[in-house]
Amino acid sequence: MAESIQKDQKPVSFDKYISSSSRCSFIAIVIFLIFLSHFLYSFSFIPFIQSPSKISNSLLVPVVQVGSGNTPEEKTELKHVVFGIAASSKLWKHRREYVKTWWKPDGGMKGAVWLEKTTVNDTVSSTLPEIRISSDTSRFKYRYRRGHRSAIRITRIVSETVRMLNGTESERNVRWIVMGDDDTVFFTENLVRVLRKYDHKQFYYIGAPSESHLQNLNQFSYGMAYGGGGFAISYPLAKALEKMQDRCIERYSGLYGSDDRIHACMAELGVPLTREVGFHQFDVYGSLLGLLSVHPQAPIVSIHHLDVVKPIFPRMDRVKAVKRLMISAKLDSASLVQQSICYDTTHKWTVSISWGYTVQIIRTYMPARMMEVPTRTFIEWHKRRDFTNVAFNTRPITYTGCQRPRVFYMSRALGDSSSGTTITEYLRHKEDNPKCEWGIPDPSDINRIFVYKKSNPNRWNKAPRRDCCRLLPTTKTGTMMIKVTACENDEIVAYSNK
């Protein structure tokens, strides 16, 4: 018997609540689940299309931080972060659509987009950061042969941001400078969760290296924060960098990019990279499905290379796909793309959920240690299909035709911000699958999956642990109902007790 499933099943049928109309059934299930968890009051729908800025800030529950004196210091919030977005005039018109998906001006966000020149019509927009024109860099040497000297302009955004803030009213509030590209999206609540772990009054350089082993090994470094994945520099460190950066980059005119120039100057300052795995450079091609379905147990902070990889949700415009993921992020950002694994013992299936993104069903019981390894839905940066060139374990999508996963992508989400109740709906991605003679039911018999979960904004204040999922009873054909929740202390993901 599987221990991780059907633990708190209730002998109730959902069927009478489900009409043939999907909208009615969705709402019926919502209502039922509210009863189930005794959230009988103050229920309000968060509709499918709502601007991310409307997300309740109550999802971020205070953590008491003590400052250097006796007065407790205010915890780090978005208003303490100043963003520097590296952009180019040529691509800004297109790339700004990505920035719009995460930029929340009414959430007190500060920062600027840095362009090399003004473009016609880049008028001030209330939905975007202000535009700044980088200062002239023609005096700096750039000697990398096939590179582009815009790297110098971009690396100096940190210093230019310090100078922009110098002496202003808002400077007092600045704790972190966060750099990203115009094709990077940030999950800002998670960014704040990560930054809160560190003392902003000290020197910190926070980010992550590339997925590509060769990129880290040859061209760049495992000790470098890749610029596209984004990185955070504490304000005192940014000020120290500003003092030396222009002289520093003259010493590294042979380097390729902007982020390796930052890394070189950090090395001179003696400040190492603090690695946070939620920053994603994503130096890959193809589909992010394999990677985002088994995200590390840490909050997802960023996704980069949105124009390089396939749309996050298939058969959809890239920007729209990001917006869809932001709907889940809005309901439970801390749990976004966090995995849970359970077994359907009735059908002999393995179920893997990446909350707010996908559910996958596979014939037979696959052990947890295999299910938490990314599948090769992507190819690495050098397009060699050589998985010894990624800096982590991977596995084939399937070992046999019978075990090819059925992938269900998140289609709709509802939540109640006062109780934290969320229901996400996932629809099966239609694909041709090989015939299977194993006598195990076809997971393609399921078309629609509902995942019920309470948002858990404080999960990262505890030791990391995967959530557990449990199948809820339903006899509705083609539908599966799953509850995702924190595991019990001794709960395990195993398909046999023997």
Ligand X SMILES: *[C@@H]1O[C@H](CO)[C@@H](O)[C@H](O)[C@H]1NC(C)=O
Instruction: Mark the segment that binds ligand X (CB under 6 A) among 160-168, 366-374, 392-400, 471-479.
Output: 160-168
The least CB distance from residue 87 to ligand X, in Å, is: 17
Closer CB to ligand X, residue 167 or residue 439? 167
The least CB distance from residue 240 to ligand X, in Å, is: 10
Residues 105-134 close enough to bind ligand X by CB under 6 A? 120-121
**CA distance from start to end of the chain:** 9
Closer CB to ligand X, residue 92 or residue 409? 92
What tokens does 275 get?
A: 């690695």
Residues 6 or more apart in contact with residue 15 via CB below 8 angstroms: 474, 475, 476
Closer CB to ligand X, residue 82 or residue 362? 82
Closer CB to ligand X, residue 200 or residue 305? 200
The least CB distance from residue 139 to ligand X, in Å, is: 18
Strand 339-344 versus strand 205-207 pairing type = unpaired
Helix (H, G, I), strand (E, B) or coil at 421: strand
Beta-strand runs (E) in 208-320 = 231-234, 273-275, 284-286, 302-303
Angle between helices 235-250 and 259-269 (to 10 degrees): 110
Q: Is 69 in the site for ligand X (CB under 6 A)?
A: no
Closer CB to ligand X, residue 189 or residue 242? 242
Residues 6 or more apart in contact with residue 195 via CB below 8 angstroms: 76, 80, 81, 175, 176, 206, 232
Residues 6 or more apart in contact with residue 328 via CB below 8 angstroms: 336, 355, 356, 357, 410, 413, 424
Closer CB to ligand X, residue 239 or residue 466? 239
The least CB distance from residue 48 to ligand X, in Å, is: 30
Residues 214 and 134: beta-carbon distance below 8 Å: no
The least CB distance from residue 93 to ligand X, in Å, is: 8
The least CB distance from residue 395 to ligand X, in Å, is: 47
Closer CB to ligand X, residue 187 or residue 235? 235
Task: Give Cα 294 distance to the centre of its chain.
Answer: 11
Closer CB to ligand X, residue 176 or residue 495? 176
Instruction: Mark the segment that binds ligand X (CB under 6 A) among 162-170, 282-290, 353-361, 418-426.
Output: 162-170
Instruction: Mark the segment that binds ligand X (CB under 6 A) among 163-171, 205-213, 314-322, 422-430.
Output: 163-171
Query: Helix, strand, coil proportions of the chain in percent (round to 5)?
Result: 30, 20, 50
Determine which residue in the list 30, 78, 82, 162 makes contact with ligand X, applying CB under 6 A. Answer: 162
What tokens does 62 get?
A: 């205070």
The least CB distance from residue 239 to ligand X, in Å, is: 7
Residues 301 and 288: beta-carbon distance below 8 Å: no
Residues 212 and 390: beta-carbon distance below 8 Å: yes
Residue 125 gets the label, from left (phi > 0), alpha (psi -120 to 50) or beta, of beta
The least CB distance from residue 206 to ligand X, in Å, is: 22
What tokens does 318 get?
A: 């890239």
Closer CB to ligand X, residue 57 or residue 168? 168
Q: Is 242 in the site for ligand X (CB under 6 A)?
A: yes
- Give per-residue burial for 229-245: e unless 16+ CB within 10 Å, then b: bbbbbbbebbbbbbeeb
Phi then psi dihedrals of residue 454, to 5 deg: -90, 135
What tokens does 455 get?
A: 């948002």
Instruction: Draw the binding track, 363-402, toward ligand X (x: CB under 6 A; -: no contact).
Output: ----------------------------------------
The least CB distance from residue 158 to ligand X, in Å, is: 12
Closer CB to ligand X, residue 120 or residue 463? 120
Q: Is 166 in the site for ligand X (CB under 6 A)?
A: yes
Q: Is 463 in the site for ligand X (CB under 6 A)?
A: no
The least CB distance from residue 99 to ligand X, in Å, is: 18
| Number of chain positions touching ligand X (CB under 6 A) | 7
Instruction: Mark the segment that binds ligand X (CB under 6 A) among 36-44, 158-166, 347-355, 425-433.
Output: 158-166
Closer CB to ligand X, residue 11 or residue 167? 167
Q: How many angstroms separate the CA atoms of 346 and 354, rounded?
A: 22
The least CB distance from residue 166 to ligand X, in Å, is: 4
Determine which residue in the list 16, 94, 143, 163 makes contact with ligand X, applying CB under 6 A. Answer: 163
Closer CB to ligand X, residue 117 or residue 163? 163
Determine which residue in the list 11, 69, 167, 434 makes contact with ligand X, applying CB under 6 A. Answer: 167
Helix (H, G, I), strand (E, B) or coil at 267: helix
Beta-strand runs (E) in 230-297 = 231-234, 273-275, 284-286
Residues 85 and 188: beta-carbon distance below 8 Å: no
The least CB distance from residue 123 to ligand X, in Å, is: 8
Binding residues vs ligand X (CB under 6 A) = 120-121, 162-163, 166-167, 242
